[in-house]
């Protein structure tokens, strides 16, 4: 790797993260990683209609309600982020 | 939400099904007020569409879709709220209450059947008909039902009447060619003919002009307005004014077969002589030509007179020497043989069918006019060839086995066009549907003879004779593969078992967050009283938000329409039902009390035969999913069948520590999968007795299949685990499992080493234990290998291989190996959550595999899916597709434009016709 790449990598990564939501990096903490997984899962459930229907049957709710619930859960899937430790 | 351009209002539907009409008051671009008014309540829809012609199509989320017509647009008095008059209190906006009521503004016109979701499905021939029936548990909540599907078109019987004697044939005739309806039904017996007139009632007439002392061979309309009756001794021509001309057979010969259309008649005398008659301009039948055939004639047919012509050119003659000849009826080469075709067996009946030319027809393709000759052969096969309209050459033949009897072919009218009814051991209908020729069976009994029937009560019907009865029926709902019988259920059905000896079904239903029947009744009574006391239903708002309120005494809201009222999420209702599918009656319904819900069911024959076959039901009490999965207790109920299997009696309940999601009979004992534990139980007097268990399963056990001493356990997350039970040590060992995680939704045992499974993400797969591993395990006498071998990475010591993998795209909820056609040809039939039924058919020859793989490859390149996804990538969405060819893609071949078809066919070294024939063959092997 050339020296100049090292300076670009952070910006490239941020660009990737902006373009493809949910891209991780080496220093991901446990919370962020879990949030990415949960958001991907909810997005997949909403996108696949049979899976959404399957959950709706299990919980005896309408499909629209399930879709709404999952979209709301995507905001804070794992709850509030943990307190940042002061260095 | 949809708006109608001309009137500008919105229709919104809530998750309970109530529709509200929303109108906006606006001046120019500024909205001043929003009014919302209660409109109607229909089952919850995924989408609604308002048509300009005043219809509302509601695509229901689960269950049948409906088409409604607008009776009114909700301008009458109804509960209305407006943004202008909204009152705000400390707790937020003041809610406005309304009472759901019967449909006032909409009226239901039609339904589109939908099996969504299929919760469980079994294919079995309980009714002992020719093909097995498919029993599916579908639907959700109050709209759930057991649907019995039969392949074939539904038939609605209009009339059945007994005849004096056993009839041999039946025909219908009009009196005049421009008549819309038939005038007479003529029935022939072995020594007489009966003429019935069709009018307000069907009655016998004796002045029709027909000879009723002899049997008849054919009866039809000749010319414009004369009737013809052919009997063994001659032809009787009845003119409109009553004059009767008779033509007698020469010598002692009798007429054996007749073929006719409106202007031409050919009769075959015994001994093989053909005589050809034509109707001339005066309406008189004139003998035109004679021809000697080499042997007796088996059957005859003349194609119908083409539009604008005076005669049809082709006469088809079938002989007992297993040939079919086409003879010309043109005046210049009358009775010349144009072509010969030899067939596998003597033909019993012939029929010409014409397909009209269509440009840009229903399926967008161009079809030239073509003529088909259909022949029913003695060996039960229907033989179809194309007749070249210019030369009369026969080409491109196809065969299909229809049944054990030689099919007799009759022309009937379907949707205004000539179609074919083939009567074999069951009746089949061949007709053109959306540009394709379909040959589908009818769900009806064996018939002897049939003719088309049209009267003002029944425009396109069929009259047929079977046994001693005359039957008139119509064929409904053309174009559908199955016809269904619906038996409604109470809650969402989960699983069911067949009791083969008694032909009964036992099913479990359960719903979360609903009230039991008694609670619903009590709540309903309360609201009714509250309503009567003058309150506007506010007293009931805290109990339920929908349904259950009586408008007036004789207008109860049907649960099926409005849905069950919602209770808290951890209240379960459940019931066990014993159903007789023949009558549709529930012979026993046990509602489970105390917040218990049933999840698994199976019949067990314990080695202690005191009680006979018992029923085991696994239940959970107080099960909740959020915030954390937990339950108060789990039980296994054991029931005894009483009253010849029609009713259930509880023997005892055994408490277990988890939800028993899977139950299976194994060597005279019961295997239960309770959470991650697999346990073997024996029957005791007061409870089940634990004999053996294995706690090493990773997550919950969802399915158990057993064969000999192998147990195939399906885990909820980790696919299949193969276990072995060693009787001498009374131990269960897991000896093989899968390499990849699979969230199982359905499983089926195929053979000793192979399991079929379906997962939550829409994949279907087969796993097989490699032969050498299987042999090792089986030949191991002391069990040393199984006991001490360690698996790596927390798995079992041996791994199964995946041999088939396919992404169906839909969550499969049930799999079964079954054959839908009589005479073998088993395939894997699956039912999905979205309500579709599909089949996986195994190829039997390498050639077929090669051919279809190449066809699929070409179809992928030349006919990519509509939305742009790459086909192979789609079918490999989760795991690479392995050894499965997408039949739906291949069947789209006939919809390609002709030049593309030719191009693909050339690359495959065949003609487009041959490819379509091969596609038809494979489809006929499945259904």
Q: What is the pLDDT of residue B530?
A: 61
Which of B112, B131, B155 delimits the end of a domain? B112
- In contact, B594 and B571? CB cutoff 8 Å: no
Q: What is the pLDDT of residue B613?
A: 86
The tokens for A7 are 């300076």
Q: Do A50 and B514 touch (CB under 8 A)?
A: no
How many Å separate Cα B158 from the centre of its chain?
Answer: 23
Which of B70, B97, B112 delimits the end of a domain? B112
Closest CA to B635 of B611, B618, B651, B612: B618
Please check whether residue A72 touches B, CB under 8 A. no
Which of B566, B583, B618 delimits the end of a domain? B566
Burial of B188 by CB count in 10 Å (0-12 exposed, 13-18 middle, 19+ buried)? buried
Partners of B513 on chain A (C-beta within 8 Å) are 59-60
Taking the C-alpha atoms of residue B445 and residue B470, their distance in angstroms, rounded to an integer, is 13
Q: What is the pLDDT of residue A3?
A: 57
Q: Which residues have C-beta within 8 Å of that of residue B173, sequence separation ≥ 6? A: B182, B183, B184, B186, B219, B220, B221, B227
In a domain, B347, yes or no: no
In a domain, B262, yes or no: no
Strand partners, B269: B255, B273
Q: What is the pLDDT of residue B543?
A: 31
Taking the C-alpha atoms of residue B373 and residue B352, their distance in angstroms, rounded to an integer, is 5
What percent of chain B is helix, strand and coil (3-state, nearest 5)?
Answer: 10, 50, 40
User: B711: distance to nearest CA of chain A, Å?
Assistant: 28
Q: Where are the alpha helices (DSSP H) in chain A?
A: 3-19, 30-47, 49-59, 63-73
DSSP codes of every residue in B442-487:
BSS---SEEEEE--SS-SSEEEEEETTEEEEEEE-STT-SEEEEEE
Nearest CA in chain A to B142: A60
Among candidates A50, A58, A65 on the partner chain, residue whose Cβ is nearest the Cβ of B15: A65
Q: Do B61 and A57 touch (CB under 8 A)?
A: no
Nearest CA in chain A to B811: A50
Please check whether residue B810 touches A, CB under 8 A. yes
Nearest CA in chain A to B44: A62
User: A70: distance to nearest CA of chain B, Å?
Assistant: 14
Please check whether residue A51 touches B, CB under 8 A. yes
Partners of A61 on chain B (C-beta within 8 Å) are 15
| pLDDT (tens digit per residue) in A17-27 | 777 877 877 88
What residues make up the domain containing B25? 2-112
Among candidates B61, B569, B745 on the partner chain, residue whose Cβ is nearest the Cβ of A63: B61
In a domain, B17, yes or no: yes
Strands (E) in B760-842, as ranges, are 763-768, 798-799, 801-807, 812-818, 827-832, 837-840
Complex ipTM more than 0.95, yes or no: no
Taking the C-alpha atoms of residue B407 and residue B420, their distance in angstroms, rounded to an integer, is 11
The tokens for B280 are 């001339």
Partners of B15 on chain A (C-beta within 8 Å) are 61-62, 64-65
Closest CA to B886 of B904, B908, B870, B910: B870
In a 3-state reduction of DSSP, which class is residue B844? coil
Partners of A50 on chain B (C-beta within 8 Å) are 762, 809-811, 832-834
Q: What is the pLDDT of residue A79?
A: 81
In a domain, B877, yes or no: yes
Among candidates B16, B141, B760 on the partner chain, residue whose Cβ is nearest the Cβ of A51: B760
As a residue count, chain B comes to: 927
The tokens for B290 are 């004679």
DSSP code of residue B554: T
| pLDDT (tens digit per residue) in B705-723 | 999 889 999 999 988 999 9
DSSP code of residue B83: G
Partners of A47 on chain B (C-beta within 8 Å) are none
In a domain, B142, yes or no: no
Among candidates A50, A59, A65 on the partner chain, residue whose Cβ is nearest the Cβ of B762: A50
Closest CA to B278 of B334, B326, B232, B218: B334
User: B3: distance to nearest CA of chain A, Å?
Assistant: 20
In a domain, B878, yes or no: yes
- Write the Ramachandran bin of A43: left for phi over 0, alpha for psi from -120 to 50, otherwise beta: alpha
pLDDT confidence bin for A42, thresholds 50/70/90: very high
Please check whether residue B811 touches A, CB under 8 A. yes
Q: Do A60 and B46 touch (CB under 8 A)?
A: no
Q: What is the pLDDT of residue B84?
A: 56
Q: Do B811 and A51 touch (CB under 8 A)?
A: yes
Nearest CA in chain A to B141: A60
CATH code of the domain in which B882 resides: 1.10.150.910
Please check whether residue A11 touches B, CB under 8 A. no
Please check whether residue B476 touches A, CB under 8 A. no
Low-confidence stretches of chain B (pLDDT beneath 70): 1-7, 74-97, 99-100, 357-368, 434-435, 517, 524, 527-563, 565, 567, 569, 783, 785-786, 792, 824
In a domain, B556, yes or no: yes
Q: What is the count of structural domains for chain B?
A: 3
Whose tokens are 């050498």? That residue is: B772
Partners of B574 on chain A (C-beta within 8 Å) are none
- In contact, B423 and B447? CB cutoff 8 Å: yes
């Amino acid at each position: 790797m050339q020296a100049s790449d090292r300076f670009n990598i952070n910006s490239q990564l941020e660009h990737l993260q902006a373009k493809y939501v949910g891209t991780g990096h080496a220093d991901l903490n446990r919370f962020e990683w879990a949030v990415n997984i949960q958001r991907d899962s909810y997005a997949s459930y909403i996108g696949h209609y049979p899976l959404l229907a399957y959950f709706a049957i299990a919980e005896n709710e309408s499909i629209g309600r399930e879709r709404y619930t999952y979209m709301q859960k995507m905001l804070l899937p794992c709850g509030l982020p943990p307190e940042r430790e002061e260095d | 939400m949809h708006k109608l351009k001309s009137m500008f209002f919105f229709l919104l539907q809530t998750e309970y099904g109530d529709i509200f009409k929303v109108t906006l008051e606006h001046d120019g671009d500024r909205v001043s007020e929003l009014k919302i008014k209660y409109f109607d309540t229909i089952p919850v829809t995924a989408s609604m569409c308002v048509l300009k012609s005043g219809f509302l199509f509601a695509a229901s989320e689960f269950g049948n879709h409906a088409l409604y017509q607008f009776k009114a647009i909700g301008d009458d008095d109804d509960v209305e709220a407006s943004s202008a008059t909204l009152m705000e209190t400390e707790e937020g906006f003041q809610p406005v209450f309304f009472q759901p009521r019967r449909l006032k503004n909409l009226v239901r016109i039609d339904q589109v059947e939908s099996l969504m979701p299929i919760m469980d499905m079994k294919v079995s021939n309980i009714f002992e008909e020719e093909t097995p029936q498919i029993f599916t548990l579908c639907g959700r909540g109050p709209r759930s039902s057991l649907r019995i599907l039969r392949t074939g078109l539904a038939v609605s019987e209009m009339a059945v009447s007994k005849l004096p004697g056993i009839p041999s044939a039946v025909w219908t005739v009009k009196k005049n060619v421009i008549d819309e309806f038939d005038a007479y039904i003529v029935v022939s017996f072995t020594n007489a003919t009966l003429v019935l007139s069709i009018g307000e009632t069907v009655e016998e007439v004796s002045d029709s002009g027909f000879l009723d002392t002899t049997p008849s061979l054919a009866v039809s309309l000749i010319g414009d307005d004369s009737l013809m009756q052919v009997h063994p001794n001659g032809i009787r021509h009845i003119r409109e004014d009553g004059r009767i001309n008779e033509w007698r057979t020469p010598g002692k010969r009798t007429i054996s077969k007749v073929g006719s259309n409106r202007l031409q008649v050919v009769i075959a005398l015994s001994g093989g002589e053909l005589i050809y008659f034509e109707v001339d301009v005066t309406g008189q039948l004139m003998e035109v030509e004679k021809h000697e055939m080499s042997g007796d004639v088996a059957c005859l047919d003349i194609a119908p007179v083409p539009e604008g012509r005076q005669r049809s050119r082709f006469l088809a003659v079938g002989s007992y020497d297993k040939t079919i000849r086409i003879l010309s009826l043109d005046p210049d080469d009358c009775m010349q043989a144009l072509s010969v075709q030899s067939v596998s067996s003597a033909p019993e009946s012939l029929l010409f069918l014409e397909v009209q030319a269509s440009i840009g027809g229903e399926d967008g393709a161009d079809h030239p006019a073509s003529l088909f000759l259909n022949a029913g052969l003695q060996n039960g096969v229907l033989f179809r060839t194309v007749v070249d309209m210019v030369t009369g050459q026969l080409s491109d033949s196809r065969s299909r086995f229809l049944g054990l009897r030689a099919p007799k072919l009759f022309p009937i009218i379907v949707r205004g066009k000539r179609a074919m009814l083939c009567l074999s051991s069951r009746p089949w209908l061949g007709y053109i549907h959306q540009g394709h020729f379909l040959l589908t069976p009818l769900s009806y009994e064996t018939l002897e003879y049939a003719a088309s029937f049209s009267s003002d009560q029944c425009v396109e019907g069929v009259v047929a004779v079977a046994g001693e009865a005359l039957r008139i029926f119509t064929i409904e709902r053309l174009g559908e593969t199955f016809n269904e019988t619906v038996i409604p259920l109470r809650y969402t059905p989960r699983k069911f078992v067949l009791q083969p000896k008694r032909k009964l079904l036992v099913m479990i239903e359960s719903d979360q967050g609903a009230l039991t029947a008694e609670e619903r009744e009590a709540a309903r009574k309360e609201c009714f009283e509250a309503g009567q006391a003058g309150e506007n239903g506010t007293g009931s708002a805290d109990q339920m938000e929908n349904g259950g309120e009586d408008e007036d005494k004789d207008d109860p809201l049907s649960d099926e329409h409005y849905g069950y009222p919602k209770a808290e999420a951890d209240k379960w209702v459940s019931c066990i039902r014993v159903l007789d599918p023949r009558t549709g009656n529930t012979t026993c319904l046990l509602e489970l009390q105390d917040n218990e819900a049933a999840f698994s069911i199976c019949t067990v024959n314990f080695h202690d035969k005191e009680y006979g076959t018992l029923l085991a039901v696994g239940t959970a009490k107080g099960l909740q999913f959020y915030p954390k999965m937990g339950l108060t207790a789990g039980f296994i109920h054991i029931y005894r069948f009483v009253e010849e299997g029609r009713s259930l009696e509880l023997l005892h309940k055994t408490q277990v520590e988890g939800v028993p999601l899977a139950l299976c009979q194994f060597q005279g004992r019961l295997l239960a999968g309770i959470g991650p534990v697999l346990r073997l139980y024996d029957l005791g007097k007061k409870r089940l007795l634990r004999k053996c268990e294995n706690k090493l399963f990773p997550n919950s056990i969802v399915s158990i299949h057993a064969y000999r001493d192998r147990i195939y356990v399906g885990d909820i997350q980790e696919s299949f685990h193969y276990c072995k039970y060693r009787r001498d040590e009374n131990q269960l060992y897991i000896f093989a499992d899968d390499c990849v995680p699979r969230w199982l939704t359905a499983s089926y045992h195929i053979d000793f080493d192979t399991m079929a499974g379906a997962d939550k993400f829409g994949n279907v797969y087969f796993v097989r234990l490699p032969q050498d591993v299987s042999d090792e395990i089986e030949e191991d006498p002391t069990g040393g290998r199984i006991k001490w071998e360690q698996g790596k990475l927390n798995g079992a010591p041996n791994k199964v291989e995946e041999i088939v993998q396919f992404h169906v795209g839909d969550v499969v909820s049930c799999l079964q190996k079954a054959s839908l056609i009589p005479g073998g040809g088993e395939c894997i039939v699956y039912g999905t959550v979205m309500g579709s039924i599909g089949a996986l058919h195994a190829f039997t020859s390498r050639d077929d595999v090669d051919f279809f793989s190449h066809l699929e490859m070409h179809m992928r390149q030349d006919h990519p899916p509509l939305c742009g996804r790459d086909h192979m990538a789609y079918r490999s969405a989760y795991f690479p597709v392995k050894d499965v060819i997408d039949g739906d893609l291949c069947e789209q071949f006939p919809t390609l434009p002709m030049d593309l078809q030719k191009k693909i066919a050339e690359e495959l070294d065949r003609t487009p016709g041959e490819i379509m024939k091969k596609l038809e063959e494979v489809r006929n092997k499945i259904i």
